[in-house]
């Protein structure tokens, strides 16, 4: 599989990602630092999206129903060299289905998540999975 995106940035302004039929504005200037996502937040968003996509994927393969999945992601950034050192996520699955096996879901996310596996090569990941 191959992936492709396009991005543009205008001097002294912010930037735009073009992905398929979507456009996502992101901040590159101080004036929008509190308004638009920065590259680190987009990185963490891709990580979260990977996990949520795999919840949906494995709900079919593992034959469980869920109403909603929610994820919170936090990261520690080191300064020198600048990088993410630790990512922690809390994944909550809202489901009354007794067939939902959180431990097996976690193993599948960690084994088959493209972004998850890429990130895991460069920093530690900790997690909490909750069923509600």
DSSP secondary structure code for residue 42 in this structure = H
Q: What is the pLDDT along the chain (132 residues), one digit of tens a residue?
A: 999 999 999 999 999 999 999 999 999 999 999 999 999 999 999 999 999 999 999 999 999 999 999 999 999 999 999 999 999 999 999 999 999 999 999 999 999 999 999 999 999 999 999 999
The neighbour count for residue 59, using CB atoms within 10 Å, is: 19
- Domains, the chain, in order of start with CATH, read 1-36 (no CATH), 39-131 (3.30.300.20)
Helices (H), 65-123: 102-112, 114-120
């Amino acid at each position: 599989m191959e992936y492709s995106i396009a991005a543009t940035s205008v001097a002294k302004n912010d930037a735009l990602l073009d992905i398929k039929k979507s456009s996502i504005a992101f901040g590159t200037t101080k004036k929008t630092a509190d308004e638009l996502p920065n590259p680190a937040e987009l990185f963490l968003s891709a990580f979260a999206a990977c996990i949520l996509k795999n919840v949906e994927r494995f709900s079919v393969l593992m034959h469980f129903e869920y109403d909603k999945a929610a994820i919170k992601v936090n990261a520690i950034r080191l300064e020198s060299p600048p990088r993410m050192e630790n990512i922690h996520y809390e994944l909550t699955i809202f489901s009354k289905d007794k067939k939902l096996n959180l431990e097996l879901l976690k193993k599948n996310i960690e084994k088959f998540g493209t972004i998850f596996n890429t990130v895991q090569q460069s920093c530690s990941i900790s997690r909490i999975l909750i069923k509600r």
